[in-house]
Amino acid sequence: MSAAELSRMTVAELGQSLSTGSVSAVELAQSYLDRIERHKDLNAFLDVRPEVTLAQARAADARIARGEGTPLTGIPIAHKDIFVTRDFASTASSRMLKGYMSPFDATVVEKLAGAGMVALGKLNCDEFAMGSSNENSFYGNVLNPWDRSAVPGGSSGGSAAAVAARIAPAATATDTGGSIREPAAFSGITGIKPTYGRASRWGMIAFASSLDQAGIMTQSAEDAALIFNSMLGFDPRDSTSVERPAEDYTRSLGSGLNGLRIGVPKEFFGEGLQPDVEKAVREALAEYVKLGAKLVDISLPNAELGIPVYYVIAPAECSSNLSRFDGVRYGHRAAEYGDLIDMIKKSRKEGFGPEPRRRILIGTYVLSHGYYDAYYIQAQKVRRIIADEFQQAFKQCDIIAGPVTTSVAFGFGEKAADPVAMYLSDLYTIPGSLAGIPGMSLPCGFGAKNRPVGLQLMSNYFEEAKLLGVAHRYQQATDWHTRIPKDFT
Amino acid sequence: MALTLSDVKRIAHLARIEITEGEAAQTLGQLNDIFVMIERLQSVDTSRIEPMSHPLGGSQRLRPDEAVNANVRDAALGNAPAQQDGLFLVPKVIE
């Protein structure tokens, strides 16, 4: 098989080829390493160590030869640089953790390695996963493979660009307010975050602990389901991990859609939604109707308050989580300082970029004496109102659908100077994150400047299998998810 | 309610982040823009609503009270900016 043919194959197809021996894990790993090298200009990868990758690939080949492979053994995967890894540096795209070598692997990394997946390296992202364009990385911008003048989205921008450019067949990612769905939409790939608590947060560098959730970026919903089977599950090391029996996330991939009620929230089609995005999303909804689903008008009246709620809760939790970076135990220490407090202050100023510093300050303020009830507790109360509205909506429908973003990917620098404009990028993704429900983005067409458009699908808690089945049915009937940007075919 | 320059400097001190006069002035404008957006929450009637601290509610799970001795001292110290004899080094704190 040619390298180009291999790069177009899905995880499901690669699994077949590996098990029948038509390609080896080492050949596959080498072919991806070559592609990563050739497309270095995207700046998607922060750390690649071919000797580590090839050693894992050799072990995978031996495992397959012994007849002990899983459906994922030998398939390459790249990890967002928010997951700590023993074999690659773990930086959170921050100067604070430049060169940091973790003494352990994140649970998600460990589970996927346990299934035999081969790690290609670490992926660029917004610093500490804070951002919507990947412009907040200390290590530079990631380019959108569809249009190098556009952002790939964020915070999982490297993950999205890597899958879009087919320099990785799949990539881990994390979502706090939309950091999987928004870059998936901007980069024209499939991305899903599961229910909060499904994926272990152990070894995921913490940003906002009541929101952070790991997920996956792939070419298709089918691939996401296959990987979820090995990636998710209870972890005693994460105190918010959900204890439930293991599930087969592929079980609904063959389901039809007859009678499926798709709720369409009117608040997701209001002022601000660009006509090109609306057109592509409406066409996707029409496709669902053709496939047997029924559209139901629903309302999430307070969803738009998601942004102010999020920008109280996420900074509050971030200011607490990031207090561990003090220049004493690990991370950056300033070269010159006076006393201990001065050392900590200078180290944190130099180690953190502008966005983490800004969020730490907001968080410190809303948690400070006299403001805690007015801001933090009030935000937690409105969070419950939003979550309850989803439960009301799910009485009338099985799945909620709408746009992921108001517009297609914007250009570099367009929103970088205006934090509030940047924060509005996550208008449609934050409500689901606050509720903690599963959400995904599927490619559903192209808008202005021929940049991709994403369709957002959300389900109720623990209904990932249903959600993936509904997405898969669309991908069987359409070919948007198979489109590849022209320089990467 | 708008923040003042002295608020920004006080918060930065609480957060242990060094900030210059110029940076504080620039940050002040950005934070006030963000707080204008956040202020919208004050108009919501939440008098009968319980705060939501976790998406799935419930209480924190506790693990069995068993001693676990994961001895990772040397590995953990390996990332310290300054260390000696198994200790983290910091500037002198007691005169």
Q: What type of residue sits at position A445?
A: G
Query: Nearest residue on chain B to A100, judged by CA atoms?
Result: B79
pLDDT, position A417? 83
pLDDT of A423 reads 87
Is residue A446 helix, strand or coil? strand
Whether the per-residue pLDDT at B44 is higher than 80: the answer is yes
Residue A255 annotated to the active site: no
- Selected for mutation to probe chain A from B7, B10, B16 (highest A CB count within 10 Å) is B16
The token duo for A210 is 């009541």
Please check whether residue B49 touches A, CB under 8 A.
yes
Q: Please compute Rg for chain B using Cα positions.
A: 22
**Does residue A448 sit at the B interface (CB-CB below 8 Å)?**
no
Q: In Å, how far is A413's CA from the nearest CA of chain B?
A: 17
Contact call for B18 and A345, based on CB within 8 A: yes
Digitized pLDDT (tens) for each residue of chain A, 489 residues in all = 888 899 999 999 999 999 999 999 999 999 999 999 999 999 999 999 999 999 999 999 999 999 999 999 999 999 999 999 999 999 999 999 999 999 999 999 999 999 999 999 999 999 999 999 999 999 999 999 999 999 999 999 999 999 999 999 999 999 999 999 999 999 999 999 999 999 999 999 999 999 999 999 999 999 999 999 999 999 999 999 999 999 999 999 999 999 999 999 999 999 889 999 999 999 999 999 999 999 999 999 999 999 999 999 999 999 999 999 999 999 999 999 999 999 999 999 999 999 999 999 999 999 998 899 999 999 999 999 999 999 999 999 999 999 999 999 999 999 988 888 888 889 999 999 999 999 999 999 999 999 999 999 999 999 999 999 999 999 999 999 999 999 999
H or E element at residue A313: helix A306-321
Q: A-B interface: how many C-beta pairs under 8 angstroms?
A: 159
Do A94 and A139 meet the contact criterion of CB atoms below 8 Å apart? no
> Which of the residues A7, A24, A80, A241 is marked catalytic?
A80
Query: With contacts defined as CB-CB under 8 Å, which chain B residues touch A326?
Result: 16
Whole-structure pTM value: 0.97
Residue of A nearest to B72 (CA): A103
- State the residue for tokens 């934090």: A419
How far away is chain B from the Cα of A397, in angstroms, using its nearest Cα? 21
CB of B91 less than 8 A from some CB of A: yes
Decide if pLDDT at B74 tops 90.
Answer: no
The answer to whether the Cβ–Cβ distance between B81 and A326 falls below 8 Å is no
Q: How confident is the model at residue B1 (pLDDT cuts 50, 70, 90)?
A: low
Chain B closest-CA separation from residue A108 CA (Å)? 20
Q: What pLDDT score was predicted for residue A43? A: 98
Is some CB atom of chain A closer than 8 A to the CB atom of B46? Answer: yes
A98 is catalytic: no
Selected catalytic residue, list A155, A187, A220, A407: A155
Q: Which of A133, A137, A159, A179 is catalytic?
A: A179
* Alpha carbon distance A123, A338 (integer Å): 36
The reply to whether A179 belongs to the active site is yes
β-strands A45-47, A118-123: how paired? antiparallel
Residue in A290, A332, A37 with CA at minimum distance from that of residue A167: A37
Query: Cβ neighbours of residue A472 under 8 Å, at least 6 residues apart?
Result: A220, A221, A222, A225, A253
Among B12, B37, B39, whose Cβ lies nearest the Cβ of A307? B37
Q: What are phi and psi of A297, to 5 degrees?
A: -75, 125
Residues A118-151: b if buried by 16+ CB within 10 A, e if exposed: bbbbbbbbbbbbbbbbbbbbbbebbbbbbbeebb
